[in-house]
Amino acid sequence: MKLDFVHISDIGQHLGREVTVKGWLYNKRSSGKIHFLQIRDGTGVIQGVMVKNEVGEEIFALGDRVTQESSIIVRGLVKEDQRAPSGYELGVTGLQIVQLTQDYPITPKEHGPAFLMEHRHLWMRSSKQHAILRIRDTIEQAIHAYLHKEGFIHTPAPILTPTACEGTTTLFQTDYFGEPAYLSQSGQMYIEATAAAFGKVYTFTPAFRAEKSKTRRHLTELWMMDAEASYFEHAENMQCQEGMICAIVERVLNERQFELKTLERDTKPLERIRAPFPVISYKEAVELCNKAGVPIRYGEDFGAPHDTAIAGSFERPVFVDRFPAEIKSFYMQPDPKDPSVVLGSDLYAPEGYGEIIGGSQRIHDLDLLLKKMEQHKVPYEPYKWYVDLRRYGSVPHSGFGIGIERTVSWMCGLQHIREAIPFARMLEKIYP
């Protein structure tokens, strides 16, 4: 076959020309002497129309034999046609079967979640899964673009760490040349160091949580984007988060309408997302929950029903600000007006998708940090390097971390977080 090879996503630019598409057979319908081949190539799906009188017996027989998910190279004339699912179709002139697939497990009918997850390596070829992972890519691109526009640079953080970042009960432990090492739960503390070197930085890292959580919102391996900025105070930090969320929503709405439609995502709630986001204090959030009939005492952290009550009261993402110091990490800067609370906020997504961002201003005063470490029983030796940052040119600084899969779930309107990542790692599940 000749070389004028095109991607299906660009097919509209080749109207009236004979082109070659390399891909897989997504589905086939046949009506006597016409085969309708739904061809996918990773960039899109196009209908190939194969007419017996036009291609001859031999090629038509190939079209008869080709099965779902066989890899194929198809040659054809690009046409516009209202009867085709995408508006364009390929008048097939040639077909080459690269590999003939037998008994593809995922059929065009319904399957249960256990079966689909067992075949995740194949399931991601299906249109909805494909749409989700495209949107995920767009979200990640939007984050990179927004942060670079704001002057941040990407500085990777390590995944193997000698110590716990937060808590010790939910860590995955591994062996590092005879010493225990842990899979990182967050890159945050490391980018406090790179922030002191570069000013504004961020990192994409997987975060590992060995929690025995078995819900639609939990993974044991999730992706976080942590950002950190020197000379950034709490209010600026929140403004940056708000700007980033708006940039994500805008880009997904602009570039991924087809995928949102595939997912049957109602985009109206997304179109309402614009700055400024409401900000309520932890104290106000507690009062809101109690009024909404979801009781909680001051000093307790929010559970799933509280998330829903808080986020459900607003059409835009809402910041809950100034949590009590005792339920947050040791490094958070106390509020100068009320030292019992910290300059730390969580951002809750609308529509019940829960907490997607946690951020705070970090303690920059050496003595205060040492005091807080002692109070929280954080050992000094393994964190000596972290304390050093307060010893050598310490400045006020702030940062935040966003959970990528929760953001993807929200944007796509997913029922379960396992679909937001190509290979979900969940409680006692590691195949495929």
Partner RNA sequence: UCCAGCGUAGCUCAAUGGUAGAGCCCCCGGCUGUUAACCGGGUUGUUGUAGGUUCGAGCCCUACCGCUGGAGCCA
Q: Hey, which residues between 295 and 314 contact RNA (CB under 7 A)?
A: 301-305, 307
State the Cα–Cα distance between residues 253 and 270, nearest whole angstrom: 8
Q: Considering the rule CB under 7 A, would residue 213 count as an interface residue with RNA? A: yes
- Among 99, 168, 174, 215, which residue interacts with RNA (rule: CB under 7 A)? 215
Q: Considering the rule CB under 7 A, would residue 224 count as an interface residue with RNA? A: yes
At closest approach, how far in Å is the CB of 391 from RNA? 27
Q: Considering the rule CB under 7 A, would residue 430 count as an interface residue with RNA? A: no
Q: Considering the rule CB under 7 A, would residue 30 count as an interface residue with RNA? A: yes
270 backbone φψ class: left, alpha, beta (φ>0; ψ -120 to 50) = alpha
Tokens, residue 6: 């095109």
At closest approach, how far in Å is the CB of 354 from RNA? 6
At closest approach, how far in Å is the CB of 397 from RNA? 18
State the Cα–Cα distance between residues 262 and 257, nearest whole angstrom: 9
Nearer to RNA, 235 or 430 (CB): 430
Q: Residue 14 to residues 18, 54, 94, 336, 400: CA-CA distances in angstroms?
A: 8, 21, 17, 64, 45
Please report, as residue ranges, which positions from 241 to 280 form the binding site for RNA (by CB under 7 A): none
Task: Check the CA dihedral 393-205-352-127 and report its sign.
Answer: positive
- Among 17, 121, 149, 216, which residue interacts with RNA (rule: CB under 7 A)? 216
- Among 74, 249, 356, 369, which residue interacts with RNA (rule: CB under 7 A)? 356
State the Cα–Cα distance between residues 337 and 323, nearest whole angstrom: 13
Q: Considering the rule CB under 7 A, would residue 197 count as an interface residue with RNA? A: no
CA-closest candidate to residue 186, choices 222, 210, 212, 219? 222
- Among 44, 354, 396, 399, which residue interacts with RNA (rule: CB under 7 A)? 354
CA-closest candidate to residue 85, choices 48, 117, 52? 48
Q: Considering the rule CB under 7 A, would residue 405 count as an interface residue with RNA? A: yes
Q: Segment contacting RNA (CB under 7 A): 204-212, 226-234, 245-253, 368-376? A: 204-212
Q: Considering the rule CB under 7 A, would residue 42 count as an interface residue with RNA? A: no
Start-to-end Cα distance in the chain: 36
Nearer to RNA, 394 or 409 (CB): 409
State the Cα–Cα distance between residues 379 and 424, nearest whole angstrom: 33
Please report, as residue ranges, which positions from 65 to 124 form the binding site for RNA (by CB under 7 A): 67-68, 81, 83-85, 89, 103, 105, 107-115, 117
Q: Considering the rule CB under 7 A, would residue 362 count as an interface residue with RNA? A: no
Q: Segment contacting RNA (CB under 7 A): 134-142, 225-233, 253-261, 349-357? A: 349-357
At closest approach, how far in Å is the CB of 332 from RNA? 12
Total residues contacting RNA (rule CB under 7 A)? 71
Tokens, residue 312: 């459900």
- Among 17, 33, 261, 274, which residue interacts with RNA (rule: CB under 7 A)? 33
Nearer to RNA, 40 or 209 (CB): 209
Kindly give, in sequence order, each residue whose CB lies less than 8 Å from that of residue 205, ignoring residues fewer than 6 positions away.
156, 157, 159, 184, 186, 187, 223, 224, 226
Q: Considering the rule CB under 7 A, would residue 131 count as an interface residue with RNA? A: no
CA atoms within 13 Å, Cβ hemisphere of 167: 12
Neighbouring C-beta atoms of residue 119, cutoff 10 Å: 17
Q: Rounded to 5 degrees, what are φ and ψ at 399?
A: -165, 175
Q: Considering the rule CB under 7 A, would residue 51 count as an interface residue with RNA? A: yes
Nearer to RNA, 166 or 236 (CB): 166
Nearer to RNA, 147 or 224 (CB): 224
Q: Considering the rule CB under 7 A, would residue 179 count as an interface residue with RNA? A: no
At closest approach, how far in Å is the CB of 374 from RNA? 20
Tokens, residue 79: 């046409």
State the Cα–Cα distance between residues 275 and 338, nearest whole angstrom: 27
